[in-house]
C-alpha cells in the first residue's frame, strides 16, 4: 500500500500495528533468501524487543537499526543483500491494505545509510520502490546530491514500471506529508516542474494523481506560477489532463485564488445572493449537523460557480481554525436560484481532535464567504435539544 493512499480517517494505531511480528518475519525471510548467513530468528527477536512501546515512524527507525546490526558492515556488500531481498519479497495479503508497510524499513534502510554512495543506492531505490514506495528514502539524495539525483530521475520518466515513474513525482514533492521538506524546491520549483511536464500525460492514473499532488504542494509557495502553468496545460488538454490540473489546483480553488478559478473557467467575482441556515444551534459529537444554502444569481450572464463550505473548528485554546470542504459546482442562469443541502458529521479524526464548544460553519462561493452560522458542539451524553 502506498503512503499517499492512506485513509486519513483510520486511527494512527492501525498504522503502527502494520509493523508487527508478521511484518518483521516477512522482512527477515526476504533477507534470509538473499543472504543465507542472515540470522533470521535473532533478527525477529531483536526487532520485537521494545516494539510495542513505539509509534509507526519509531518502529521503522528501530528496524532499520536492527537491520544494520545484522547486515555486513561494508555498505556496498550490505546494499547488495538488501537489493536482492527485493527480488525475494513475498507479497502480503491482497485484502490487507497495510501489508505493504513491511517493506518500508527495507527501502528506508537505503535512504538512511546510502547517501555516501548515491549511484548504487539510487539504482536500488528504483528496484525496491514497487514493494512499498521509496518516496521518503529518496529525499536525502535530493537534499545532498541534488543535481545527480535530478539527472537520474530524468532517465526514469520512460521506465516501464509505473511505480518508478510515480517515485519521480512523489519523491520530489516539496512538502510531502511524513517526509523531509525540500526547501530548495519550495524556493525554486522549476527543476520539479520540468519532471512533472514529462509525466503530465502518463498512461497511469496512479502517476498522474501524484503529479497533481506535487502541483498542489508547489501551489502553497507559488500560487500564481501554478495557476499560470495550469492554464497552459489546459490548452488542448485531454480529459485525463484536465482532471489532473483540477486536482492540482484544489487548494487554490478552496482559497478562491483568482488565477486558479479562471484557469478552470469558474467565476472569479460571483454575482449572487446567498441565504444560509443550519438545522440546529447544537450538535452532539458523533452526530450530523444539516445546513442549507439558497444561491440566487444576480448577474446578467451564466455563471460557473464553485461552492464550498468551511467549518471553523474550535481548538484547544478556544480559538477557531477553518477547514474547507468541497460542496458543489453550479451553472446558474441569470436570475436562477438553487437550493443546496448538506450534512456534516462531527467526530475526532487522527489529524484533528474535536473539542466541545462554539463552532461556526460558512458557505463559500469562489472562496468568498457569503454566510456564517454559529452552533455548539456538545460532549457525548449531552442532549442536543
CATH number of 294's domain? 2.60.40.10
Residue 128 domain flag = yes
> Which pLDDT does position 5 carry in this prediction?
41
Question: How far, rounded to the nearest angstrom, does the alpha carbon of residue 15 sit from its chain's CA centroid?
Answer: 15
Q: What CA dihedral angle connects 205, 9, 177 and 151, to 10 degrees? A: -20
Residue 214 to residue 232: CA distance in whole angstroms: 17
> Which pLDDT does position 96 carry in this prediction?
79
**Phi, psi (degrees; rounded to nearest 5) at 295:** -115, 120
Instruction: Show the cell assigned to 306.
Output: 464553485
Contacts 24+ apart (CB under 8 A), 70-76: 70/31, 70/38, 70/39, 70/42, 70/43, 70/46, 71/31, 71/35, 71/38, 75/113, 75/114, 75/116, 75/117, 76/117, 76/120
Residue 154 domain flag = yes
Question: Are 166 and 298 found together in one domain?
Answer: no
> Which pLDDT does position 293 carry in this prediction?
97
Is residue 31 within 8 Å of residue 40, measured between CB atoms? yes
What pLDDT, in 10s, does the model give residues 354-384?
999 999 999 999 999 999 999 999 999 776 5
Count Cβ atoms within 10 A of the Cβ of residue 128 and give its class: 0-12 exposed, 13-18 middle, 19 or more buried.
Answer: buried
> Which pLDDT does position 6 carry in this prediction?
42
Domain span at residue 294 reads 272-378
**Phi, psi (degrees; rounded to nearest 5) at 24:** -65, -35
Question: Are 25 and 124 found together in one domain?
Answer: yes
CA-based nearest residue to 69, from 105, 95, 101, 100 = 105
Question: Are 236 and 302 found together in one domain?
Answer: no
Question: Are 107 and 166 found together in one domain?
Answer: yes
- For the chain, the domain total comes to 2
> Which pLDDT does position 197 carry in this prediction?
98
Last residue in a domain, options 263, 284, 312: 263
CA-based nearest residue to 13, from 56, 50, 43, 61 = 56
> Which parts of the chain sit beneath pLDDT 70?
1-13, 383-385
Question: Are 348 and 236 found together in one domain?
Answer: no
Question: Are 213 and 77 found together in one domain?
Answer: yes
Amino acid at each position: 500500500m502506498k503512503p499517499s493512499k492512506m485513509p486519513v480517517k483510520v486511527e494512527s494505531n492501525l498504522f503502527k500495528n502494520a509493523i508487527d511480528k508478521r511484518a518483521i518475519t516477512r522482512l527477515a525471510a526476504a533477507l534470509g533468501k538473499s543472504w543465507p548467513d542472515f540470522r533470521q530468528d535473532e533478527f525477529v527477536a531483536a526487532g520485537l524487543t521494545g516494539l510495542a512501546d513505539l509509534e509507526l515512524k519509531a518502529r521503522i527507525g528501530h528496524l532499520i537499526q536492527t537491520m544494520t546490526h545484522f547486515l555486513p558492515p561494508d555498505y556496498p556488500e550490505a546494499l547488495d543483500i538488501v537489493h536482492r531481498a527485493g527480488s525475494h519479497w513475498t507479497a502480503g495479503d491482497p485484502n490487507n491494505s497495510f501489508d505493504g508497510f513491511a517493506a518500508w524499513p527495507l527501502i528506508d534502510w537505503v535512504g538512511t545509510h546510502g547517501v555516501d554512495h548515491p549511484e548504487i543506492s539510487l539504482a536500488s531505490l528504483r528496484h525496491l520502490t514497487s514493494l512499498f514506495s521509496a518516496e521518503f528514502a529518496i529525499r536525502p539524495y535530493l537534499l545532498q546530491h541534488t543535481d545527480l539525483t535530478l539527472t537520474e530521475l530524468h532517465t526514469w520518466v520512460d521506465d516501464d514500471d509505473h511505480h518508478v515513474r510515480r517515485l519521480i513525482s512523489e519523491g520530489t514533492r516539496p512538502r510531502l506529508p511524513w517526509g523531509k521538506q525540500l526547501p530548495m524546491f519550495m524556493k525554486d520549483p522549476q527543476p520539479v516542474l520540468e519532471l512533472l511536464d514529462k509525466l503530465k500525460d502518463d498512461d497511469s492514473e496512479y502517476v498522474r494523481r501524484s503529479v497533481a499532488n506535487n502541483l498542489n504542494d508547489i501551489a502553497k509557495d507559488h500560487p500564481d506560477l501554478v495557476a499560470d502553468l495550469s492554464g497552459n496545460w489546459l490548452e488542448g488538454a485531454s480529459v485525463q489532463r484536465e482532471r489532473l490540473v483540477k486536482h492540482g489546483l484544489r487548494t487554490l480553488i478552496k482559497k478562491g485564488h483568482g488565477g486558479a478559478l479562471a484557469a478552470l473557467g469558474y467565476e472569479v467575482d460571483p454575482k449572487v445572493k446567498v441565504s444560509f441556515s443550519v438545522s440546529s444551534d447544537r450538535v452532539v459529537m458523533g452526530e450530523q449537523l444539516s445546513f442549507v444554502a439558497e444561491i440566487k444569481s444576480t448577474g446578467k450572464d451564466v455563471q460557473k460557480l464553485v461552492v464550498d463550505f468551511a467549518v471553523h473548528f474550535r481548538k484547544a485554546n478556544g480559538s477557531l481554525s477553518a477547514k474547507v470542504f468541497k460542496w458543489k459546482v453550479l451553472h446558474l442562469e441569470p436570475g436562477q436560484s438553487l437550493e443546496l443541502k448538506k450534512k456534516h458529521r462531527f467526530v475526532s479524526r487522527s489529524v484533528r481532535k474535536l473539542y466541545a464548544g462554539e463552532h461556526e460553519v460558512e458557505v463559500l462561493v469562489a472562496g468568498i464567504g457569503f454566510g456564517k452560522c454559529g452552533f455548539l458542539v456538545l460532549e457525548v451524553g449531552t442532549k442536543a435539544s
